[in-house]
Each structure stands twice: as structure tokens, then as C-alpha cells.
Amino acid sequence: MKSKLRLAEYKVLLYRLFLGYLFYFIARVLFFTFNTHLFAVDSFWALLKLCYYGMAFDTTALLYINSLFILLSVLPLTVNTRPGFQKGMAILYFVTNLLAYATNFVDIIYYRFSQVRSTRATLDVLADENNKKLLFTHFSEAYWYVIIIFILCSLCWIWLYNRVKLTPAAARDKKVYFLSSIISFVLILALVIGGIRGDFAHSTRPINMVDAYKHITVPNQGDIVLNTSFAIFRTLGTNNYKLQHWTDEAYIKTNIKPIKQYNTKPANKPNVVIIILESMAREYWGSMNRDVNIPGFKSYTPFLDSISGSSLIFTNAYATGRQSIHAMSSVLAGIPSFQNAFTSSPYAKQQIQSIVSVCDSMGYQTSFFHGAANGSMGFQGFGSILGYQHYYGRTEYNDDKDFDGIWGIWDEYFFQFMGHTLSNQTQPFMATLFTLSSHDPYQLPEKYKARFKGGPLAIDKCVQYTDNSLRIFFNYAKTQPWFNNTIFVITADHTSQTYYPEYSKQVNRFAVPILFYSANSAYNLKGVRTDLASQMDIYPTVVDLIGYNKPFRSWGRSLVGNHPDEQPRVINSTGNIYQFMQGNYTYLFDGKNFTGIFAVADKGLEKNLMTAQPNAEMQKGMQDCKALIQDYTDRIVNGKLLAR
């Protein structure tokens, strides 16, 4: 009777699915173990609780991955138990499961750089990288131990799978066999649909990434609850640019002010050089931490610290994205990236008002410098969309003796290349340099290995090296006729490795420096500012400084001059949750509901102040957050990234 009802087959199927849960639990524990310092999990039981919540996301991922395997297991094919069929099923099972499982091991390392579970957006970024083979070789060598752990887990999984086998059994009473199979198929299908959705209620949407945050108090713990397979599946084919209608245009015009106009009239058009430093977070800068009171703090930026005293610096500034390509659109066009990189979206090909277009309209020569292979990170393509007149990459540098072997030309030499190139250009010019040496694998040129010893983080010595490269560049620039009429803007694309607990806090995982420097005192770029600032503010600030007097589109604000009607604010995203800072509060918004309100000084988001009756400032902050997102989406989707 058992063979007619196929009970043995269903038991084996359940066992094989159970193995998936077991190894996803192991992957989650490994993910936490390798990134413990990034999560405020204070006990083993707290970790187990997060793992328990994660089972719902594991269920959805495993059912997606094994849908064909489950279908072939329950269909009444009469050959299901035969050795040949079972061998084919084993191949299907492990090809699909181990490929998906491997993504969780990639995030064991990649998470410390991206600080979010990998999604389809990560695949988009990878697609824009043109030295994939070289990067794969490097990461395989640098993180070989993770590959070994993955292989051991896979072998253990295969061994456990083979411990329970089906005994071949023929279906003698085919009527009972087929009838019971149909009933079982319907029941299993219903369970699979419920498992993929997350529950059986019609009133709820299918389980999504934001649901990982329902049962936690510290936002980034949601990344422990999630698994990477689920994150990728749930973001495939998704459109994160959905039009919203939370408020009216009058409210947006009055409170968000997406169209701005300044009336500055500088005596001369200043040159502008924007330097975006790879991974060089605020944590590494001494001048950005003088009032933070971090015990035992050490600076790795002596040159940047030295010019900070003659610069306008912002010690409470934040990135609006998590990856390098996010920074390019944020800094140059004031367009942040939230769930996905704007530059990888189908909307990036429209006309975009930016620093580049504004400078071009004012007669500037515009150039973009990046020492990697041309096209790397999608910089060249997006630079072309923005309208840069010149692009200088590894091809134009044309001397691979200065190639670092992984990413591109060492910063020292590429800085010098930019300096000499600018000296041959007609003024005024606007140039952007995106550095690359302060990037994993954190290598140094041979001649500097004894000089720069760094600190507890692998990146520290590379920060010292890039800081020294800036010193050499500035020493050259000071000898050039264009130097005294040049405004330098220095920031970082995103944060990276953290050492001090202060910078492991949720909000400070976006903490970057912003510095404006000019030898020309007429621009009045001196002082230390602690008001909120972000990468989005760089674009309108440059527009203000160079004297562009026409309307332009910007969600940021000018950080110079007198503009009391412009509200300091910061918006970014953990990948799943918007973080909006304005006034006295930080707001967490999942796209539908506000899940937390915290004092702006509470960088770890530890004390949720959200109540049923928020005060007037809180209500205004929530409305402004939604209004900004509404206008952002509307302008991107409907092609309104120009001033209109």
C-alpha cells in the first residue's frame, strides 16, 4: 500500500528539502560569524531568534530553487523511484541548489563592502565591470578559505543526501497510484504557493525583503534574517521606480524645492576639480573626527588633515548610496540610488541636468578621469550620458608599468597624469577624478610597503598611500597658473571597513567626508560645519560657486552662501529601507510604512521614538520624506531630470 500512496517518496522529498534548511542555517551562522562587528547581536539566543525568523525567507528561496525538482518528484511518472531517474534528479537538485547556495558565501565577504545583501542590482554592477576574470582570480586567491568552507559544506550536503535513498518500487495498482498522486500534487502545490508567498492570506503581499525587518529592533539585523538567494530572486524583474501619489505638487514645490535658482556672481569663472576617493570613509580622516571623542583614534590622512584647516569641511556628511556607481550619479547629478543603481536602470539614458551640463553651458572644458580599464564600473558610459567632453582611463594613460595588476593605474601616477593633462587644457575647466587604489586587495606599490604600515584594518595603509598621492598632486598643482582659481571638492564614494564601534552604527555606515578647498580667498571656503550634508549637496554647491544663474533641478542644497529656505536633509537606503534625516530625527521608511523614528544623535538607531501620535516635527519629517521620494520617482520615470 505504501508504494501505491508513494509515502516513501514523500518522506525522502521532505528529507531533501530539510537538508536545504540545515545548510542555509549554517550559511547564515557563517555570514554572522565573519561579520560579527557589523551587527549588534548580544547573545547566542538572539542569533538563534534571527535564524528562526529567517526560516520564512529560506522557505521561499528553497521553493523557488527546487520548484522543478519538487514537480518531478511528485508527478505520477511511474519511474520516479528507478535508479536512473533518481540519478538525474540528484544532478538537478545539486546544480540548482549549490549555485544558489554559493551566493550566500559570496556575501560572507562582499557584505563588509556593500553592507547590504546582494540583489539584482549587484548583478547589474558586475555586468558593468570589464575585468571580471581578473577580479574572480583575485578574490578566489584572497578569500580561498571561504571557497574551502563552501566546498566542505557542499560535500557534506551531498553525503547526507546520499544517506537516504529510495528503494525501487513498481506501482501495481495504477488507479490508486494516480488518484493518490493527483491529490498529493494539489496539496503540495498549495503548500508550495503558500511557502513562496510567505503565508496563505489573500490580504497580504508575497513575502518581500522589507518583511525581514518586522521582528527586529536594530535595522541591519534584517540582513541576518535574509539570505542572498532570496534577495536575488525577489529583485529579479522588479521595478523600484514606481510612481507614488502621497502629496500634491504644491507641497513638493514649497517643501522639497526640486527646482532652484541662485544669483551668485563670482568675478571669474573658477575651475572645478572634483575628487571622489574610493572607499575613503570619514572614519579614516583625523580632521573629520576631532570632536567625536573616539578613544585611541588614529588618523591615516595627514595631508588631508593639513589642508582641512584652510578648507570648508563637513563633519556630519553622508553618502546617498552604497557602491561606487551610486556615488557618480549622486555627486555629479544629485541623483541618489536606493534599491538599485540609477545608472543601471532603463531611465539613465535620458537627458540629465548635472554639474557637467551646467559647466558645459558656461563654456567649460569637462573631463572625467578613472585609472581603470575604460568602461569599468560603467563610468565611461554614464559619463557620456552626462556629456563629458573627454574621458581619460587606463587606455589614455597608455603605460601599464604603473598598473596595479587588478584595478588600474596606481593613484599616485594617475593623479600626476590628471595634473599634467589639466595644465594643457583651456580654462575654465571642470574635471572629475575617481580614485581606485584604496580598494580590496589593499595593495601598495613596492616602494611604499615599508613606508605605509597602516593600522588594524587592511585598508588603512592604502588610505595613507592615496593621501600621499594627493599631497604629490597638490604640490604639482600649486606650481600651475590654474591653481589659484580652482575649487577642489573632495569626498568619498562610500564607506568601507570599520574598526571603531562609532562607525559600525547603522547611520554612520554611510558617513563620508566632504571638503571644499580653494587657494583663492574670494570663495570663502573655510570653516568646520556640523549641519547635515550629503553627496547630493555637492552639485548645487558647485552650481552656486561658479555663478550659474538659471533654474536647475536638485534635491540637495547649496552648502555655501545664504539660503535659509533650504532644509538640511539626508536620504539613503540600506537596500530595503529608506533612511531619511531631517531636523531632530532619523526616519525609517519601507516604501509603504514608517517603521521607526529616532533622535538624530542616535546613530545606532537603538531607541525607537515612534508613537501612535507623533509630534508636529515628526509628522512634517514623514511627509517630507514621502514627498522627496515621490518627486524623485516622478522625475526619473517621466523624464523630468532637467529644470522644468
SS3 573: strand
Which helix (H) or strand (E) element contains residue 599? strand 594-599
Task: Report residue 88: phi and psi, to 5°.
Answer: -65, -40
Query: 554, 96 in Cβ contact below 8 A?
Result: no
Query: Does residue 324 carry a catalytic annotation?
Result: yes
Judge whether 581 and 569 are in contact, CB under 8 Å: yes
- CA angle, 440 then 437 then 448, to 5°: 105
User: How many residues in the chain?
Assistant: 644
Q: Is 215 annotated as a binding residue?
A: no
CA atoms within 13 Å, Cβ hemisphere of 130: 13
Please pick, among 3, 308, 324, 469, the residue that the annotation labels catalytic.
324
List the beta bridge partners of residue 273: 431, 488
User: Is the peptide bond prior to 428 cis by the omega test (within 30 degrees of 0)?
Assistant: yes
Residue 517 — φ and ψ, nearest 5°?
Answer: -135, 140
Contact 337/330 with Cβ under 8 angstroms?
Answer: yes
Helix, strand, coil percent content, the chain, rounded in steps of 5: 50, 10, 40
552-553 vs 533-534, strand pairing mode? unpaired
Written as one letter, the residue type at 286 is: G
Count other Cβ atoms within 10 Å, centred on residue 470. Answer: 22
Handedness of CA 611, 613, 614, 615 (dihedral sign): negative
Report DSSP letters for 270-314, one per residue. Answer: -EEEEEEETT--GGG-STTSTTT--TT---S-HHHHHHHTTEEEE
Task: Please write down the long-range contacts of 613-622, taking CB distance under 8 Å and 24 or more positions apart.
Answer: 617/583, 617/584, 617/585, 618/585, 618/587, 620/583, 621/580, 621/582, 621/583, 621/585, 621/587, 621/597, 622/587, 622/589, 622/594, 622/597
Q: How far is CA 220 from CA 101, 320, 445, 593, in A?
A: 21, 17, 36, 17
- Would the annotation count 37 as a binding residue? no
Say if CB 359 and CB 393 are below 8 A apart. no
Q: Is 539 left (phi over 0), alpha (psi -120 to 50) or beta?
A: alpha
**Torsion sign over Cα 260, 263, 264, 265:** positive
Residue 278 annotated as binding? Answer: yes
Cβ distance 631 to 256 under 8 Å?
yes
Question: Is 563 part of any known ligand binding site?
Answer: no
Binding site residues, as ranges?
A: 278, 439, 493-494
User: Which residue numbers belong to the known binding site for Mn(2+)?
Assistant: 278, 493-494
Annotated binding-site ranges for substrate: 439
Q: Which residues are catalytic?
A: 324
